[in-house]
Chain A
Amino acid sequence: EDQVTQSPEALRLQEGESSSLNCSYTVSGLRGLFWYRQDPGKGPEFLFTLYSAGEEKEKERLKATLTKKESFLHITAPKPEDSATYLCAVQVNDYKLSFGAGTTVTVRA
């Protein structure tokens, strides 16, 4: 059975304190790994798609990386507006995404 595990469940950071979120997965065949940001009361917002080990993508203070067993979302010098829940999902076939439970990040000024 496909499994996606995100850690930690919650992360409290001081503004400017860089950190990383982890998404580990056990799937029969990875077609892609997605990262999303979700604000309270809203739908997930797409951030990145990674397709192969070694791939990296960046957007502002966020950088996503992928290995054969896990992905990391690095937050560099975070600001309070980076506070959100970050979700990862793996695509195992043409239609199905399996989601992790998310990491809730709180950045204090």
Chain B
Amino acid sequence: NAGVTQTPKFRILKIGQSMTLQCAQDMNHNYMYWYRQDPGMGLKLIYYSVGAGITDKGEVPNGYNVSRSTTEDFPLRLELAAPSQTSVYFCASIDRGGLAGEETQYFGPGTRLLVL
């Protein structure tokens, strides 16, 4: 298994540009998440999905959009990039643990975004 993969690793955007951060997982997890991590702060939830075709807002959704057409992919779209969106973005998925019920959250390697 490749686990959770993210592309690109790093990107510089100009103010007002748009881009899509890609996220894919090959573990057949239903729950997927997008977080942002700013220096000295905890991870903040942007959007999450409980399965293909189902998405919902997290704590900080403004300026972002998501879609979930397949179980594997969960792209994050930035429209009209702003300097406040400079951050490191992590995608994650959760393994519910089956009968044991123990949950494990797997994170991707992150995308570092700089908006100038």
Indicate whether A and B interact. yes
Distance between A10 CB and nearest chain B CB, rounded to angstroms: 11
Is A13 interfacial (CB-CB < 8 Å)? no
Is A45 interfacial (CB-CB < 8 Å)? yes
Distance between B110 CB and nearest chain A CB, rounded to angstroms: 5
**B40 lies within 8 A of A44 (CB):** no
Is B64 interfacial (CB-CB < 8 Å)? no
Distance between B60 CB and nearest chain A CB, rounded to angstroms: 12
Assuming the contacts A44-B107, A46-B104, A46-B105, asked whether A95 and B43 have C-beta atoms less than 8 A apart, the reply is no
**Which of B31, B102, B105, B106 has its CB near the most chain A CB atoms (within 10 A)?**
B105
CB < 8 Å neighbour of A98 from B4, B42, B48: B42
For the A-B complex, the count of residue pairs with Cβ-Cβ distances under 8 Å equals 55
**A49 lies within 8 A of B107 (CB):** no
Bound Cα distance A34, B105 (Å): 9
- Residue-wise interface mask of B (41-76) relative to A, using a CB-CB cutoff of 8 A (1 in contact, 0 not): 111110010100000101000000000000000000
**A43 lies within 8 A of B109 (CB):** yes
Distance between A53 CB and nearest chain B CB, rounded to angstroms: 17
**A101 lies within 8 A of B41 (CB):** yes
Interface of A: prevailing SS: strand
- CB-defined contacts of A96 to chain B, threshold 8 Å: 45, 48, 58
Interface residues in A80-103 by Cβ distance below 8 A to B read 87, 89, 91, 94-102
Distance between A9 CB and nearest chain B CB, rounded to angstroms: 8
Is A42 interfacial (CB-CB < 8 Å)? yes
Interface residues in A43-98 by Cβ distance below 8 A to B read 43-46, 49, 87, 89, 91, 94-98
- Sorted nearest first, the 8 A-B pairs with minimum C-beta distance are A43-B107, A99-B42, A99-B43, A44-B107, A101-B42, A46-B104, A43-B109, A43-B110
